[in-house]
Amino acid sequence: MTPDVPPCAPPKNGAEGGGGRKGADGDRYWYDGVIARRVRPEPAPRPGRAAPLADPSSSPVPRVAAPPSPVGLALRPRLDALRELVGLSRARLDRHTLAEASRVLDEAAARHRHSLDLTVVAIAGATGSGKSTLFNALARAQLSEAGVRRPTTALPVSCAWSDRAEGLLDRMGIPARARRTPVRPYDPALGGLVLLDLPDHDSAAAGHREQVDRLLALVDAVIWVVDPEKYADAVLHERYLRPLAGYAEVTFVVLNQVDRLSADGADQVLDDLRRLLDEDGLALGEYGEPGASVMALSALTGAGVGELREALGAFVARRNAAELRLTADVDGVSARLRPAYVTDVRPGLTERARQEFEDRLAEAVGAQAAGLAAERAWRRDAERACGTTWTRLRYGYERCKGLLGLGSGGRAALDGDGHDTGGRGTGGLAGGASAPRRTASRPLVEQAVRTLAYEASAGLPGPWALAVREAAGRGAEGLAEALDAVAAASAPALVPGTRRAGGRPPGGVAGADGGRTGVWPTDAEAGGGRTRGGVGARMVRPRWWAAVAAGQGALSAFQLMGLAWLVGAFMGEFGGPWWVPVVLMSGGGVGGPVLAWCGRLAARGPARGYGLETEHRLRSAAAGCGRARVLEPVAAELLRYREVRAQFVIAAGEG
C-alpha cells in the first residue's frame, strides 16, 4: 500500500505541475498541482511467466451510452436540416454568409465525437475578478495560481472530475502541463464536470483575448465572474454578454468579492447587475423559467461557494449542457440566416402571372391576327368554291395571268390555286414566291419576360430573387427565334397539292409568314373546319363545297340552255313557247348568285371555328415554347427556394 505523502510546494522553476523528485525509498514523486503522489513503476513480467492481472479497480469499465435527452432528440433533426440547408444554398449564397453555419456544423460534429455526459464549464472574467480563486474553491485544492500579479493566469487550466476527459481537453488545446485533477475521492456531486480557468478577457498580454474567444466557442457553459468595481464594464457587456444573450441557459453570472460590501450594498450591486443583464437581453432564470443563474459569493471567504457548487452539480447532473449549447448555436446562426430565407410576403408564381405571360407571347406571335386571317381565308375560299361559274372563270383567268407573270403593274400575284399571296407579280414564279417570313415582336417578348421575372421574384429574399431573374433572362435568350419557328410549324396547311417554295413548313394565313394563302380544311361539315393530317398535310375540300359547285354548274347549264333555246327560237330552229327559255335563263342567272350567297352564309360558322382553332394552335405553340424556356426554369428556382425554406424552418426550430 502506498503511504500517505504530505503536500509539497510546486517546483520553483515556474512549471505548473510536472517535474518531480526522488524519495528516500527510490520511488519518484510526481507533482499533481501541489499534491505529491508516489507512482511505482510496474515490474516487467519474467520470461515464461504470465503478466500479473490488472487491478480490477483501475481497469476501464465499458461505458453504456446514455439515452439521448429530449434536448438532443430535438437538436438532431435541426442539425440535419441545417446541413441540408447549407448544401442546397452553396450555389445561391456567398461563402461568407454560410461560413457561420458551416462552423456550427463542424463544431457540433466534433463535440458529438466525445461523450455528451461530460460538461465543460469555463470560468471567465476580467483581471482581478477572482476567477482563479473561485476555481480553486470549487476544486477544494490549490490548482490554479492566484495572486496580485497581473495577469496571473497565462494558460487555461483544467480540472476534470472524470477519467474520460482527455479527448475533450485535446480538442480544446489544453496543454498537458495545465491539466489538473481534484482531490480524490472525487466529489460525486460534480461527476462528469470539466472545469476551465481561462485567462483574463481584458488582459494586456498578447494572445490572452484570442485564447478566451477560442475557448468560449468550444465549451458547454460559462461562469462569468464579475467584481463590485467592474461589473458594469462596457467591454464585458458589449463584447461578450450582449452577443451571447442567446446562451442564457448555459450561463452563470457570479458577483464575487461581496465580502468587501455590506449586506445592503451587495443587494444593490446585485440588483443593478440584474438590470444590466436584462438590458443585454440575457434571460434570467427566475421563478422556474430557463435562463442564466445570477448569484453573489466570496471565493476568498467561501460564502456562497456552496450554493454555486450545488447549482453547478445540478446543472452537470442533467447531462444536456453540450446539447443546450449546440441548440443555442443553431438558434443564433438561424437568426442570422433568416433574412436570406424568409420574408414577410409569400412569394411564388401565380396562375394569373402565368396566364398573362402566355397571353403576351400569343400577342407577340400574332395569334389573334393569324386566327382572323385564317377565318377570312376560309371564307374567301368558300366564296370562290361556291361562287357562280362566271366568277370561277374570272378567278381562273387571274390565276393564269399570275402563272404567266402578267400580274405586274399593281395586280396581286396568285398562288398555284389562284389565291392571292399578298405580293406583287414576280415575272413567272410558279405558284407565287412566298413573302419574307414574319418574326415575333421582340419588344413584346422582352416585356413578357421582364414582367414574369418581376412577379415571380417579388417577395423573395435578395439572392433567390436574383436567381429567378437570371433564370428568366437565360430563357429569354433565343425565345423570339424559337417563337418564329413554332409559329411557322403551327401555321395551317395549304390548299391541295401546294407547298411553300423551298420546302419550308406551310404558312397558310396572313400574319403567319407575311403572305396570304388559301386554307381548305377537311371535315368542315362535321367539325367546323378541323384539319386532319397535321402541318403540311394535303388538304381536301369540304364535300358540301363540291355539292354547291355542282349546283352552280347545273344552273349555269340551264342558263346556257335557255340562251341557246331562245336564240334558236328567234332563228326558227326551235319551237315551243318563248317563255320556257326565258324561265331557264332567268332561273340560272338568279339561282347562281342566290346559291353563292347561301354558300357564303353557310361558311360563316365553319370559318369562325377554323379561325379560333388556328389562333388556339398558335397560342398553344407559343405558350409551350415559353413554358419550356422561361416558366419551367423559373418554377425550378422557386421550387428550390421552397425546399431550402422548408429546411430553414426545421433548422430554426419552427416546424
The per-residue pLDDT for 1 is: 39
The bridge status of strand 119-125 relative to strand 157-160 is unpaired
CA atoms of 96 and 463, how far apart (whole Å): 13
Q: Tell me, rounded to whole angstroms, the distance of Cα 407 from its chain centroid.
A: 63
Torsion angle in degrees (nearest 10) through CA of 234, 239, 240, 245: 90
All residues at 6 or more sequence positions from 544 whose CB lies less than 8 Å from its CB, including other chains: 524, 525, 602
**645, three cell numbers:** 425554406
The per-residue pLDDT for 260 is: 92
Between 33 and 177, name the one with better pLDDT. Answer: 177
3-class DSSP state of 552:
helix
Average pLDDT of every residue of the chain:
77
Q: Please check whether residue 169 is in contact with residue 194, taking contact to mean a CB–CB distance below 8 angstroms.
A: yes
All residues at 6 or more sequence positions from 460 whose CB lies less than 8 Å from its CB, including other chains: 343, 347, 468, 641
**578, three cell numbers:** 318563248
The bridge status of strand 28-32 relative to strand 21-22 is antiparallel
Task: Label residue 449 by pLDDT band (50, 70, 90).
Answer: very high
Which range has the top average pLDDT, 61-70, 284-293, 320-329? 320-329
Which CA distances in Å does 648 have to 107, 329, 452? 19, 14, 26
The per-residue pLDDT for 34 is: 33
Asked whether residue 68 carries a pLDDT value surpassing 50, the answer given is yes
Q: Within a 13 Å sphere around the CA of 420, how many CA atoms are in the beta-carbon half?
A: 13
String of DSSP letters for 30-67: EEETTEEEEEPPPPPPPTTSPPPPPPTTTSPPPPPPPP
Asked whether residue 17 carries a pLDDT value surpassing 60, the answer given is no
Task: Label residue 40 by pLDDT band (50, 70, 90).
Answer: very low
- Among 3.40.50.1980, 3.60.20.30, 3.30.420.40, 3.40.50.300, name the CATH number for the domain at 117-318: 3.40.50.300
Put the strands of the sheet holding 193-197 in their side by side order: 179-180, 157-160, 193-197, 119-125, 221-226, 251-255, 293-296
CA atoms of 423 and 327, how far apart (whole Å): 77
pTM: 0.68
String of DSSP letters for 253-280: EEE--GGGS-HHHHHHHHHHHHHHHHHT
The per-residue pLDDT for 530 is: 40
Domain coordinates in residue numbering, the chain:
117-318, 346-395+440-491+544-654
CA atoms of 87 and 84, how far apart (whole Å): 5
CA atoms of 353 and 344, how far apart (whole Å): 20
Torsion angle in degrees (nearest 10) through CA of 63, 64, 70, 71: 30
Query: Which of 379, 301, 381, 321 lies closest to 606 in space, CA to CA?
Result: 379
The per-residue pLDDT for 108 is: 95
CA atoms of 325 and 157, how far apart (whole Å): 21
Task: Label residue 652 by pLDDT band (50, 70, 90).
Answer: very high
Asked whether residue 499 carries a pLDDT value surpassing 50, the answer given is no
The per-residue pLDDT for 152 is: 59
**119, three cell numbers:** 460538461
**355, three cell numbers:** 396566364
String of DSSP letters for 102-155: HHHHHHHHHHHTS-TT-EEEEEEE-TTS-HHHHHHHHHTS--S--SSSSS---S
pLDDT digit string, tens, across residues 527-586: 343 443 333 333 456 888 888 888 878 888 877 887 887 777 777 776 667 777 778 778
pLDDT digit string, tens, across residues 417-448: 444 444 433 333 333 334 335 568 888 999 99
Q: Tell me, rounded to whole angstroms, the distance of Cα 156 from its chain centroid.
A: 43
Interaxial angle between packed helices 131-139 and 305-317, expressed in degrees from 0 to 180 and rounded to the nearest 10: 70
The per-residue pLDDT for 241 is: 94
Between 544 and 108, name the one with better pLDDT. Answer: 108
Q: Please check whether residue 164 is in contact with residue 181, taking contact to mean a CB–CB distance below 8 angstroms.
A: no
Determine which of 34-38, 240-244, 312-316 has the lowest per-residue pLDDT on average: 34-38
Q: Please check whether residue 320 is in contact with residue 68, taking contact to mean a CB–CB distance below 8 angstroms.
A: no
Asked whether residue 129 carries a pLDDT value surpassing 80, the answer given is yes
What is the chain's length? Answer: 655
pLDDT digit string, tens, across residues 169-216: 999 999 999 999 998 888 889 999 999 999 998 877 778 889 999 999
